[in-house]
Amino acid sequence: MNKSSRVFLTVSVILFGLLTIALFRLQVIKGTHYKLVAESNIFRIRRVTATRGEIYDQKYRPIVQNIPSHNLYLNSGEISNLNSLARFLSWQFDLTEEEVKQMVLKQRFRSYEEILVVDNVPYEKMLSVSEYLNYYPELTFRIGSTRNYQYPNHFSGYVGRINEAEFKRYSEEDYSINSYIGKTGLERYYEVLLRGKDGREVVQVDAQGRSLGLFAQGGYQEPLNGLSLVLTIDNELQDFARRVFPAGFKGTIVVSDVTSGGILAYVSKPEYDPNLFMQRISTEVWADLNRAEKPMLDRVIHATYPPGSVFKPVTGGLGLHQGLITANSRLSYCNGGLQVGNRYFRCWNPDGHGRTNIVEALMHSCDVYFYDLSLKLDLDDFRDYTLASHLATRTGIDLPNERNGFFPDTAWYQETYGANIGTIGHKVNLSIGQGEILISPIQMNAYYTAIANNGIWIQPHLLKHTVGRGRLARTEVEPLKQARLPFTANELKIIQEGLYAVCNAPKGTARNVQVPGAKTYGKTGSAENAMGEETHAWFCGYIVTDKPEIAITVLMENAGGGAAMAAPVARQIFDFYMGNIEDIKRPAQPPIQFQSADEHELEQSIPLEETHIQDSEQLEAGEDDSDVQLDQSQEI
């Protein structure tokens, strides 16, 4: 054997040895590892989307339902010509070629997961596009579901496609890039209840990603559908309140059940249709939603206003509580105003009211009485009492991003105007609900509801219970807070007498709000503000039959006097309620699809505290994505 042959043999032996070692390492030492890798290359886990829970009123009438939709999906792993695909989609849908390419680029590391390209495609459009799908096998239409909101409102909120920030934020909560997520309102607050849990389907595919159909009888995990919500809302009362609010005005109506704190009607005007967000919004629609009237602003919880005279029971209550006045105390004579230092504070009535006690002062809404009383009050005590009355602070209603409101203290005035600022004149303004004070309509409604409920404040809420695969009462979802207003029984009685006189005495400012079959209590308010020349019109009140029934808050921005504008609206709602009281209060039988589910417990517990149920911590950290306009220049 010559030298070249020996070299060739040696090299061959070495190469064979290396190959033997590599094969041994691949098949024996690393065999299990590479077996799993190989299996992962031919198996796909397809997400089976859970059905989102629906939303009903207290009689199981629909507010939000699921309806079928046609959705177009893209399998990025099957794209043969991206430029051609992008041109086709931009031609057929309201998409640019660049948007399509970016969509695919972002999914380049998730080629196993289909991309939802267009949702809620009209049936006719689906048929016309389907004719071209043989040229684009990467595109597939699938039947899904979309939300159908039965009427315009703010409390239900709406859902939308999850964005990148939300996807990262909730990365541990099993969302996909195609998931829908609650954006506002109840859809956001109760996201964890409504959403459910997606299932999985194991599919074996070939090298091109086509299913081999080997798991027809197995490899399937059922989705856990979301819970449906039954609200305290009454659809008929809600509809009437929406229709009775005067056209052309902005404002709110809140109607609550006195004994439970549940919201029966929740109106913010102008309103918008949440169904607009179930499809791609055009530039024109988006501009309309952001017009000067701010239809997307939920004025019930996201806007705060000077409360005007509807705040006077708070001032009077503090005077009674501190023993500064009694039911019979008559303060300064009202001849149309009161001189305080070098400033003359006018009463709304230039002819004056004479000397009044607390009941008469509430009945006439005499400003001078409360001006005089404020001179005896300590500002910081005034603020503490207001907060103890659950005003100028969040109520905790089950909606996201509720506003706090504002009531200033001595430190705030000193920081704002200087250490030597005097607060006497500011107290005078605050005593009649003017100045820097800001209160939301929901806070005002909860306060008057508590007065009607013998001083017991109950956290306002919209959820009554859940239905579907199990039933949870509102208190099982979240504890319902209750507290006593800072009234003694006698103090509360005096305030109630004043509110009764407002609606029933010959000279009461709301004597037109009397309802057959019930006793009416209430207070009107006309609040000066920085938003226009006309005052905001307020009415807050309640009715009592054999027991307290409902409390109403009506606010109309820049509408004028509360007695002339807001009180008649409240009167119509009181009349409607009394005329339909038996139907409204009659318990409803659950639909048959929910009856069996109501008889047993949930199949598995839901960790409410871990997700979107509470937004208060986010707010305290400074996160608030709501479009909010405050009534004053100062944002709190």
Q: Considering only 264-268, 332-336, 470-474, which range has the smallest mean pLDDT?
A: 470-474
pLDDT digits (tens, 9 = 90+) for 143-161: 888 999 999 999 999 999 8
Residue 603 has a pLDDT of: 44
Residue 252 has a pLDDT of: 98
- Residue for token digits 């609550």? 256
Q: Which is more confidently placed, 610 or 255?
A: 255
pLDDT digits (tens, 9 = 90+) for 537-574: 999 999 999 999 999 999 999 999 999 999 999 999 99
Residue 303's pLDDT band, with cuts at 50, 70 and 90, is very high
Q: What is the mean pLDDT of residues 219-235?
A: 90
Residue 333 has a pLDDT of: 95
Residue 470 has a pLDDT of: 85
Residue 119 has a pLDDT of: 85
pLDDT digits (tens, 9 = 90+) for 243-282: 999 999 999 999 999 999 999 999 999 999 999 998 888 8
Residue 602 has a pLDDT of: 47
* End-to-end Cα distance, the chain: 97
Interatomic CA distance for residues 311 and 525, integer angstroms: 8
Residue 8's pLDDT band, with cuts at 50, 70 and 90, is low
Is residue 617's pLDDT more than 60?
no
Is residue 331's pLDDT more than 90?
yes
Residue 217's pLDDT band, with cuts at 50, 70 and 90, is low
Residue 205's pLDDT band, with cuts at 50, 70 and 90, is low
CB 134 within 8 A of CB 126: no
Interatomic CA distance for residues 86 and 115, integer angstroms: 14
Q: Considering only 55-64, 85-94, 103-112, 272-281, which range has the smallest mean pLDDT?
A: 103-112
- Pairing of the two strands 55-56 and 228-231: parallel
Among residues 100, 188, 175, 187, which one has the least CA distance to residue 138? 100
Among residues 301, 154, 308, which one has the least CA distance to residue 238? 154
Is residue 207's pLDDT more than 80?
no
Residue 483 has a pLDDT of: 97
Q: Which is more confidently placed, 195 or 9?
A: 195
Selection from 36-50, 282-296, 310-324 with the highest mean pLDDT? 310-324
How confident is the prediction for the chain on average, in pLDDT?
A: 86
SS3 assignment, position 274? helix
**pTM reported for the whole predicted model:** 0.84
pLDDT digits (tens, 9 = 90+) for 157-169: 999 988 888 888 8
Is residue 308's pLDDT more than 80?
yes
Interatomic CA distance for residues 28 and 421, integer angstroms: 85
Q: What is the mean pLDDT of residues 394-404?
A: 96
Interatomic CA distance for residues 216 and 480, integer angstroms: 48
Q: Which is more confidently placed, 445 or 71?
A: 445
Residue 3's pLDDT band, with cuts at 50, 70 and 90, is low
Give the percent of the chain with pLDDT over 70.
Answer: 84
Q: What is the mean pLDDT of residues 125-130?
A: 87
Dihedral sign, CA of 448, 449, 453, 456?
negative
Among residues 417, 423, 332, 338, which one has the least CA distance to residue 378? 423
Q: What is the mean pLDDT of residues 194-209?
A: 71
Q: What is the mean pLDDT of residues 594-616?
A: 49
Q: Which is more confidently placed, 536 or 9?
A: 536
Residue 624 has a pLDDT of: 44
Interatomic CA distance for residues 103 and 116, integer angstroms: 10
Q: What is the dihedral of CA 615, 616, 619, 620, to 10 degrees?
A: -150
Residue 2's pLDDT band, with cuts at 50, 70 and 90, is low
Q: What is the DSSP letter of 481?
A: P
Is residue 416's pLDDT more than 90?
yes
Is residue 326's pLDDT more than 70?
yes
Residue 208 has a pLDDT of: 46
Residue 111's pLDDT band, with cuts at 50, 70 and 90, is low
